[in-house]
Amino acid sequence: MDKQQLCKLVVDAIDDLKGQDVVELDVHTLTDVCDYMVIASGRSGRHVRSLAQSIVAKAKAAGVQPMGMEGLDEGEWVLVDLCDVVVHVMQPEAREYYQLEKLWSGLDAVAQSRDQRASAP
């Protein structure tokens, strides 16, 4: 599975459980840590945990072993490391406070919302 397919798998897993405000960031020119970051919001701690667990389950089913997952117990911000794709699932308050999209977009990352992806050829 290539990086773009993995990113799509992540976004689809989030969409399946009604994750909100999904943003993909192409950061391959900015960091060696990963090529893509996906940021999404969940409505509650339980929703954030469910989204993260679904991402991990679907990645494993596709043959991708996650490198790790942090924050599952608290459910405020869960990070799922899929090596080429790092996923941040956050409650809206944490997302507003940390503003990851602004941080990475401010560094000329290419951010694509779900609507922008749908209109792309």
What is the pTM assigned to this prediction?
A: 0.85
Q: How far apart are CA 6 and CA 17, in angstroms?
A: 17
Straight-line distance from the first to the last Cα atom of the chain, in angstroms, rounded to the nearest whole number? 22
Q: How far apart are CA 121 and CA 112, in angstroms?
A: 13
**Residue matched to tokens 């909100």:** 20
The pLDDT score that the predictor gives to residue 98 is 93
pLDDT digits (tens, 9 = 90+) for 10-45: 999 999 999 999 999 998 888 889 999 999 999 999
Residues of the chain falling short of pLDDT 50? 107-112, 115
The pLDDT score that the predictor gives to residue 101 is 86
The pLDDT score that the predictor gives to residue 30 is 83
The residues spanned by each domain of the chain are 3-119
The pLDDT score that the predictor gives to residue 116 is 53
The pLDDT score that the predictor gives to residue 20 is 97
The pLDDT score that the predictor gives to residue 108 is 43
Beta bridge partners of 39: 23, 88
- CATH of region 3-119, choose from 3.40.190.10, 3.30.420.40, 3.30.830.10, 3.30.460.10: 3.30.460.10
Amino acid at 35: D
Q: How far apart are CA 87 and CA 118, in angstroms?
A: 20
Amino acid at 118: A
The pLDDT score that the predictor gives to residue 119 is 58
The pLDDT score that the predictor gives to residue 106 is 55
The pLDDT score that the predictor gives to residue 121 is 57
